[in-house]
Amino acid sequence: MEQIKTSFDFEKPIAELEQQIEKVKQVAEKTKVDMSATLTELEEKLDKTQQTLYSNLTGWQKVQMSRHPERPQTLDYIGMICDDFIELHGDRTVKDDKAIIGGFATIDGQTVMIIGHQKGKNTKERQYRNFGMANPEGYRKALRLMRLAEKFNKPVISFIDTMGAYPGLEAEERGQGEAIARNLLEMSVLKVPILCFIVGEGASGGALGIGIGDKVYMLEHTWYSVISPESCSSILWRSWDYKERAAECLKLTSEDMFKNKLIDGIIKEPLGGAHQNPELMGQTLKKQILDDLRVLKKEKTEKMITARIDKFCAMGVVNE
């Protein structure tokens, strides 16, 4: 039985059971006593504990899961899903933003344009990628690539995983708000299928900048909101101490978002999160992509665009 790699305080019951199982195995090996009945009982208890714990995570616990350092990122999914990938650089105006990557790829022989946030896995890479927080040139690069995909009639797939767009003074000077707003407008009427996947954090306009699509999905243990729980807590209570309460109030989990009809579906993760079995998570995403492209490619362009616009226009509408 493959053990769950634990990281968080709420996973302590699992860690304790895993330690008990390991001790029983060591005793059985050392004493040559048959302890299979005890092992079976402990393993059944572990499985039940895992199922119960991971199916009842709070909003803040899901935020923690989405930030796991070993959680797969855009480049990981590209490596698992795609047969090949040619990265394209630059917005042709300022520079190449490393926080957003994009380029043509093939999935089972189908050419697609993939765009996504990349946070980085270690300190050096995170600094290089600006922690996945894109500048205006990142969103303008994404738009350039989407227009290129439209020119060659290739679907667009976006992977969203960001704490938000970069909030620095220089980003605002170069038109951060305009760049994101432009992407919202252009993606709404793009003449090719667009699939969006929140694979980690989905915060604010930084996520929305590449988040308008015919289908928008969230992985099971991710979050999607106008603001992070910490920032919400600091604004409302002048302290980060209420971040757990803020996470519940924001209704940012995949279940909440699906219930409020803000996403099209939830993609189940391997037990314990995507980081426990990245290959399985990659296979699940690949199947979802191929299934959706098979359907969307049959639709007429005008009908597809109208449905996309109608879907987003219906969000937040109040009928008196």
Mean pLDDT of 76-82: 96
Q: What is the pTM of this model?
A: 0.91
Is the per-residue pLDDT at 2 higher than 50?
no
Question: HSE of 134 in the Cβ direction (CA atoms, 13 Å)?
Answer: 37
Helices of type H across 104-174: 123-128, 136-151, 169-173
Mean of per-residue pLDDT scores for the chain: 93
Q: What pLDDT is attached to residue 5?
A: 59
Is the per-residue pLDDT at 44 higher than 70?
yes
Q: What pLDDT is attached to residue 34?
A: 83
Residue 276: both structure tokens together: 């426990």
CA–CA distance, 166 with 245 (Å, rounded to integer) = 25
CB atoms within 10 A of CB 237: 13
Q: What is the tens place of the pLDDT at every residue in 210-225?
A: 999 999 999 999 999 9
Mean pLDDT of 38-42: 89
Is the per-residue pLDDT at 235 higher than 60?
yes
Is the per-residue pLDDT at 295 higher than 90?
yes
Phi, psi for residue 222 in degrees, rounded to 5: -125, 175
The DSSP output letter for 268 is P
Q: What is the tens place of the pLDDT at every residue in 109-145?
A: 999 999 999 999 999 999 999 999 999 999 999 999 9
Q: What is the tens place of the pLDDT at every residue in 139-184?
A: 999 999 999 999 999 999 999 999 999 999 999 999 999 999 999 9
- For the four alpha carbons of 180, 182, 185 and 190, in that order, the dihedral sign comes to negative
Q: What pLDDT is attached to residue 4?
A: 54
